[in-house]
């Protein structure tokens, strides 16, 4: 567990014109191990993009604890973003969580 990551969650904030924008707020820093999976090339709105799957293992927190990662949240490492797709216990004792995430980068 040597990779520091920031766990972030999204919230809707009014834009002053009757709509809203999505703002990300940091929940805290976690330490993880990261293992890259397979990658693929896709098309973003304008440019091609590279998408890489990641398995990110973190120390577990109880259900309902704000430190427990959840789908829809993301990890940040500097400018790199890792949206979380799924979370599962990594061991029978529930000490570790494996987060399936992806990293999308414009090519």
The string of pLDDT tens digits covering residues 61-72 is 888 888 899 999
Per-residue confidence (pLDDT) for residue 78, from 0 to 100: 94
Domain that holds residue 61: 3-106
Could you tell me the CATH number of the domain that includes residue 38? 2.40.10.270
> What phi-psi label fits residue 80: left (phi over 0), alpha (psi between -120 and 50 degrees) or beta?
beta
What pLDDT, in 10s, does the model give residues 74-89? 999 999 999 999 999 9
Domain count, the chain: 1
State the pLDDT at residue 44: 63
The band of 55, judged by pLDDT with boundaries at 50, 70 and 90, is very high
Q: Tell me: the pLDDT tens digits for 6-51?
A: 999 998 888 888 888 889 999 999 999 999 988 877 666 666 678 8
* pLDDT, position 100: 97
Q: pLDDT exceeding 70 applies to what percent of the chain? A: 92
Asked if 43 contacts 49 with a C-beta cutoff of 8 angstroms, the reply is: yes
Q: Which residue has the tokens 């577990």?
A: 60
């Amino acid at each position: 567990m040597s990779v520091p990551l920031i766990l972030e969650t999204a919230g809707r904030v009014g834009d002053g014109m009757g709509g809203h924008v999505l703002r990300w707020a940091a929940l805290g820093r976690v330490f993880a191990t990261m293992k890259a999976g397979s990658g693929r090339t896709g098309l973003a709105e304008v440019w091609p993009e590279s998408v890489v799957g990641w398995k990110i293992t973190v120390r577990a927190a109880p259900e309902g604890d704000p430190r427990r990662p959840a789908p829809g949240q993301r990890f940040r490492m500097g400018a790199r973003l890792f949206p979380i797709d799924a979370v599962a216990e990594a061991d029978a004792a529930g000490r570790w969580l494996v987060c399936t995430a992806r990293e999308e980068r414009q090519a």
